[in-house]
Chains A and B, each alone.
Chain A
Amino acid sequence: MATATYTPIATQTLGSAAASITFSSIPGTYTDLRLVLTGTTASAADLAIQYNADTGTNYSGTFLSGIGSSVNSTNNGPSASNILLQSQGVSSTTVPILDTVDIFSYAGSTNKTCLITASTDTNGAGAVELAIGLWRSTAAITSIKIFGNGGVNLSTGTIATLWGI
């Protein structure tokens, strides 16, 4: 018998500017996770994520980006210290960006790979991007930190929701 899934685990809405949003104590009872983020930042920045408070150079990624009328593909890494959610597009102080991150088999024993979509249109600039991110660890993911790369604050009203699938 089919089992209903795609369950909201938690939502966080920033009531004031903050350096990061962290989902912790993530239960290991789902197959995949989906993170949905929309918000603005104190200045233009790339947003990024880290798992399980790992700040080591254990991350990498590959991007396919459309920027206006051009397209390109770039790598983040090898051996980066986070998974970037954007490569060519950046966040804005006024226009919300939208990122989705699908994290597969997050509680399993394989290394952890995620699919990212990023929408950063700012009316005259911006990008749409599809990306893959890798965390070279076989540990179960129990926490996810979202932050502005370079220490840029997430602004009031930024919303992140974590779903279990």
Chain B
Amino acid sequence: MPIAGVIASSNQQARAASFYQIQQLSPSAVSTVTFSSIPSTYKSLQVRFNLVCTSAGANFQTQFNGDSSSANYVSHRLYGDGGSTVAGGFASGVFGYVLQFANGAVITYPTVGIMDVIDYANTNKNKTVKSLMGANQNTSTGNVQLNSGLWLSTAAINSLTFAVSAGTFTGTISLYGVN
């Protein structure tokens, strides 16, 4: 027979949990990783990463569901490199991915970031992405960026590919589901 107090307590704990690790990868010297078979049971996705790159100034880029059509991706960025600030946008037809951390990666020290994919399983709307990324290597070289992206598709996202434009990366990248 249920004990009312215990049920109430456990229900409260269940309600409190809203952030779940779906998968964690530990890539080593690769240029791309893919999270596949992403369940559609969350409201949003969050990717968090700590990656050491081999090519300074590399871009990070994200594709959904294996779609590489440049007609379907839009990107905006705002960045500071310790001296100058730049804002820019790329309409569809330029890149076959969401462009992130443009020219930002450093070597030796980690590049880190958080990417949120909102309402990723909704089949009635296109998919919007926001990311914060940065790297610093204790010289005058540092870069921090706020990026947004749009995937012009109403398909539910079931796979996410994360890549660098040059060289490889090693470290940790995790996919979380948020309710």
Name A residues whose Cβ lies closer than 8 Å to a Cβ of B.
2-6, 31-32, 60-65, 71-75, 77-79, 102, 104-105, 108, 110-115, 117, 130-134, 136, 165
Say yes or no: B136 contacts A115, CB within 8 Å. no
Say yes or no: B139 contacts A113, CB within 8 Å. no
Nearest CB to that of A65 among chain B residues? B80
A4 in contact with B20 given A108-B50, A115-B114 (CB within 8 Å):
yes
Interface string of B3-24 (1 = CB under 8 A from A): 0000000000000011111101
Q: B35 in the interface, Cβ–Cβ < 8 Å?
A: no
A113 in contact with B21 given A108-B50, A132-B112 (CB within 8 Å):
no
A-B pairs, top 8 by smallest CB distance, nearest first, are A73-B80, A62-B142, A132-B134, A64-B80, A6-B19, A104-B50, A2-B20, A4-B17
Q: B162 in the interface, Cβ–Cβ < 8 Å?
A: no
Say yes or no: B20 contacts A73, CB within 8 Å. no
Nearest CB to that of B86 among chain A residues? A73
Nearest CB to that of B174 among chain A residues? A31
Least CB distance from A143 to B in Å reads 20
Cβ contacts A to B, 17 pairs, < 8 Å:
A3-B21, A31-B21, A60-B136, A62-B80, A63-B82, A63-B144, A72-B80, A72-B85, A73-B80, A73-B144, A78-B138, A110-B109, A111-B109, A113-B135, A115-B114, A133-B136, A165-B176
Main secondary structure, interface of A, reads strand
Which of B78, B112, B138 touches A104 (beta carbons < 8 Å)?
Answer: B112
Chain B contacts of A63 at CB under 8 A?
80, 82, 144
Q: B149 in the interface, Cβ–Cβ < 8 Å?
A: no
Chain A contacts of B142 at CB under 8 A?
60-62, 75, 132, 134
Bound form: Cα–Cα A72–B83 in Å: 7
Interface residues on B, range: 35 or more
Say yes or no: B50 contacts A132, CB within 8 Å. no
Least CB distance from A77 to B in Å reads 6
Least CB distance from A54 to B in Å reads 14
Of residues B17, B22, B39, B112, which shows the largest number of chain A Cβ atoms within 10 Å of its Cβ? Answer: B112
Bound form: Cα–Cα A86–B47 in Å: 25
Which of A2, A60, A65, A111 touches B177 (beta carbons < 8 Å)?
Answer: A2
Of residues B84, B111, B176, which shows the largest number of chain A Cβ atoms within 10 Å of its Cβ? Answer: B176
Least CB distance from B80 to A in Å reads 3
Say yes or no: A31 contacts B80, CB within 8 Å. no
Say yes or no: B144 contacts A134, CB within 8 Å. no
A2 in contact with B81 given A61-B142, A132-B142 (CB within 8 Å):
no
Say yes or no: B19 contacts A4, CB within 8 Å. yes
Q: B48 in the interface, Cβ–Cβ < 8 Å?
A: yes
Say yes or no: A105 contacts B172, CB within 8 Å. yes
Least CB distance from B67 to A in Å reads 25
Nearest CB to that of B144 among chain A residues? A132
Least CB distance from A127 to B in Å reads 13
Of residues A4, A71, A131, which shows the largest number of chain B Cβ atoms within 10 Å of its Cβ? Answer: A4
Say yes or no: A75 contacts B110, CB within 8 Å. no
Bound form: Cα–Cα A111–B170 in Å: 13
